[in-house]
Structure 1
Amino acid sequence: MKVDKEVIQFLKKLRKNNNRDWFKEHKPYFDELKSAMEEFYREIKEGLSEDDEIEKMKFYRIYRDVRFSKDKTPYKSHFAGSLSRSGKSLRGGYYLRISPGESFLAGGFWGPDKEDLYRIRKEFEISDTEIREILAAPDFKKYFNGKLEGDELKTAPKGFQKDDPAIDLIRKKAFIAVRKFSDQEVLSPEFKDEVVLTFKALRPYFDYMSEVLTTDLNGVSTID
């Protein structure tokens, strides 16, 4: 299955006509596109499930929560979904957004809680050799330019040295790998397979982070 060009065309029109009257008029057409896109995401889940344990897929609603936003447009101009890995020992999540001119996939750790964030930072402080090797691996460089993205502090977090060799990683508050796609790539017949291949390139990173987040600093398991 591939993404139909009508998906991109509809989202472009929605971006220009982001109001309830226009959307109500085009709601039946939107529902058709939404059903097709949900199936597209399910096929991605099936592809990932061949090599990974996927617990669930979440396809996000088109409706925006505008209660606390300055932007009061009622609808998102994209389709998006995420896939969660199964069990306590498998960490990391997958995300894909289809948006005209702004499509991307991402995987990793968006907002680790306080304990997980500290554990990750301590691991990097002890040794950044393994994570550097993962980021420098051919597939990670091919798909993600060999780097992690996400918000970060301007200086060292409390309890860490600002001259630590791993400070560029320790400063981070999120640890996300991102790959962007053009509309032409999204509409390609190979796009679904390319998404799955790209997500699979995250496995060494996920395996490493899963090990870190399920053990203490002495390497002893913290899960039952």
Structure 2
Amino acid sequence: MISKSTFEFLRLLAENNNREWFAENKPSYEDAKQNVEDFASSLIRVLSKIDPVIPADLDPAKSVFRIYRDIRFSKDKTPYKNNFGIGISPKGKSFDGASYYIQVQPGNSFIAAGDWQPPTDRLKAIRQEIDYNGSDFDEIINKPLFKKYYGTLSTEDKLKTMPKGYPVDHSHIEFLKLKSFIVLHEIKEEMFQNKKFEQHLSSVFESVQPFMLFLHNATA
């Protein structure tokens, strides 16, 4: 699980986002990073029992994103992220397709699952699958546990108008406008130290499996 000291490191980093402070507190960073890698290992163990595409022997170090920011083309020149990110797929954080992302950040921790900003061919395939099998899609996203943990799909990445080839009165118009097909589940900080957290994670991941399978089948 994620320790309180890891969250404390992230809080202090957000207040002191500079290279001098980071260098002075490098041991705390190393401890926090190891804690996150251990947590990633537990996530992989849970997910591999639920999702057959996730290998049980996936190296957790390959799933944890670097904390260093790429500031070359950014107006924000702070050198470090104020969170730890974990990407889980058949190839860890580097995968082109539906996958999982877990963010560890004070006040903004969450689980995300789905296909974020897929390329044109994959985007068309997902929209076509929703168009062809809308009743199956509806059944998946309306299941009680799915709605309990995720609500509905994120609408942050969405077209203002209908994509070409679909009527404006299509029954799934709001989903066909999406450019990313992801769902989010918020995690309260205190949950990371809860003894039943792994059991909770298992339920959260199980509830999203039909959605992930739908995306995999659409782009297979």
TM-score for the superposition, normalised by structure 1: 0.87
Q: In the alignment, is the contact (CA less than 8 A) between 1:95 and 1:106 conserved in 2?
A: yes
3-state SS, counterpart of residue 195 of structure 2: coil
Which segments of 5 or more consecutive residues in structure 1 lack a partner in the other structure? 215-224
3-state SS, counterpart of residue 63 of structure 2: strand
Greater than 4 Å deviation, 4+ residue runs: none
Percent identical pairs in the alignment equals 36
Other-structure match for 1:94? 100
Amino acid at match of 1:143: Y
Tell me how far apart the structure 2 counterparts of residues 132 and 16 of structure 1 sit (CA, whole Å): 44
Are the structure 2 counterparts of residues 192 and 67 from structure 1 closer, same or farther at C-alpha, using a change threshold of 3 Å? farther
Quote how far apart the aligned CAs of 1:54 are: 1.2
3-state SS, counterpart of residue 157 of structure 1: coil
Corresponding residue to 1:115 among 105, 117, 121? 121
Quote how far apart the aligned CAs of 1:119 are: 1.5
Q: In the alignment, is the contact (CA less than 8 A) between 1:3 and 1:186 conserved in 2?
A: yes
Q: In the alignment, is the contact (CA less than 8 A) between 1:85 and 1:92 conserved in 2?
A: no
Cα RMSD over matched residues?
A: 1.7
Moved more, 75-84 or 204-213: 204-213
Quote how far apart the aligned CAs of 1:113 are: 1.4
Does residue 54 of the first structure (1) align with residue 54 of the second (2)?
Answer: yes
Which segments of 5 or more consecutive residues in structure 2 lack a partner in the other structure? 92-96
Does residue 22 of the first structure (1) align with residue 21 of the second (2)?
Answer: yes
> As a proportion of its length, which structure holds more helix?
2
Corresponding residue to 1:173 among 173, 179, 190? 179
Other-structure match for 2:87? 82
Higher RCO (CA 8 Å, separation ≥ 6 residues): 1
Quote how far apart the aligned CAs of 1:124 are: 2.1
Q: In the alignment, is the contact (CA less than 8 A) between 2:101 and 2:111 conserved in 1?
A: yes
Amino acid at match of 1:126: Y
Quote how far apart the aligned CAs of 1:7 are: 1.0
3-state SS, counterpart of residue 50 of structure 1: helix
Tell me how far apart the structure 1 counterparts of residues 201 and 74 of structure 2 sit (CA, whole Å): 31
Amino acid at match of 2:76: D
Q: Deviations over 1:120-170 (max 9, x none)?
A: 11222234111111000111011101x111401011012221111111110
Corresponding residue to 1:205 among 190, 211, 216? 211
Quote how far apart the aligned CAs of 1:196 are: 3.3
Other-structure match for 2:94? none
Does residue 8 of the first structure (1) align with residue 13 of the second (2)?
Answer: no
Tell me how far apart the structure 1 counterparts of residues 198 and 14 of structure 2 sit (CA, whole Å): 24
Quote how far apart the aligned CAs of 1:50 are: 1.7
